[in-house]
Structure 1
Amino acid sequence: MANENSFDVVSKIDMQELNNALNQASREIETRFDFKGSKSSITLEKEELVVLSDDEFKLQNVLDILTSKMAKRGISLKNLDYGKVEPASGSLVRQKIKLRQGIDQEIAKKINIMIRDSKRKVTSQIQGDQVRVTGKSRDDLQAIIQLLKQADLPVELQFLNFR
């Protein structure tokens, strides 16, 4: 295993940046004129966001504000899994947005197949919710990173521990 290089393919959300985006969105909702007297809010509960508002139109406006703040802070919207809009107490509506962390098995298998079909001299293996790619040539590993960046996958990928 001498001269073996490797990197990990992961999918994670930077929780600090998410908190910053939530704080910015909450501040904007508090100061905007069209939300005066509204009970609109965004809260983070474990691994999901809960958006609460007076009606579906205002809920959609809150989601627009949230997604714009997340995009400005570099958080991918691919890792959000929107639930359905449901009625909440006191004539309010609620929508839960699940945060996807990690690469599930189906997507990891798809990544493995893409790497194998690239005909590069690298190997890949699934390790829990990430994929480890190893090979002798750093150029091959960088080519795999470019291949995965250009692939249209349903999650945002990050590449860690390149050594």
Structure 2
Amino acid sequence: MSSLTDLKDRIDTKTLNMVLLTFATGGIYTILWLYRNYSIIDEITETKTINDTFVIWIAVCVGLGSLFGSSYDQALMIIGGILSIASTVLYIVCAFKMKTCLQNYVLNKFKMEFPMNGFYTFIFSIFYINYCINDLGKLESRQRVKSSEYENIAQQLEKLAELKEKGIINEEEFNSQKAKLLNGNV
């Protein structure tokens, strides 16, 4: 059986490195990361997110947007701006496809919720996806902690029920303590 960290282990890109390399290469690194890793994401999650053509369109929009945007011709600058916006939209579409893919993968394969912020997906797109992939290992440990907390609460509720059955506490005290346990106030 595959592990929750397989995706993280195969992609193995620290988000800070990704951001720095993207700035250092004028955006080229993000395109290379996407081209190299979308197939790994698709393979592990057994879901189709994007394809080579999608990545090429991002590269074309980024490249031509930069080229035309630095022109002295007003019309070319406008075209460059439109192409830059188009590349941003393509990145956002890709990020949301990968977000859905990752959430479904974790839910269906490991029976865990994987909360990913839609706002961050929109603003940080591929960077946030990489961050979430790196966070998969922590998700597993958080899930274990949450499970043990639920088991502890269940045991305490059983003890309270026993105390009530034995007449040590009355119905009102039982309900009060039960409410405290379920609300996390104990």
TM-score (norm 2): 0.28
Which structure: larger Rg?
A: 2
Give the number of the structure whose residues are more often strand, by fraction: 1
| Bigger fraction of residues in helix | 2
- Greater relative contact order (CA < 8 Å, ≥ 6 in sequence): 1
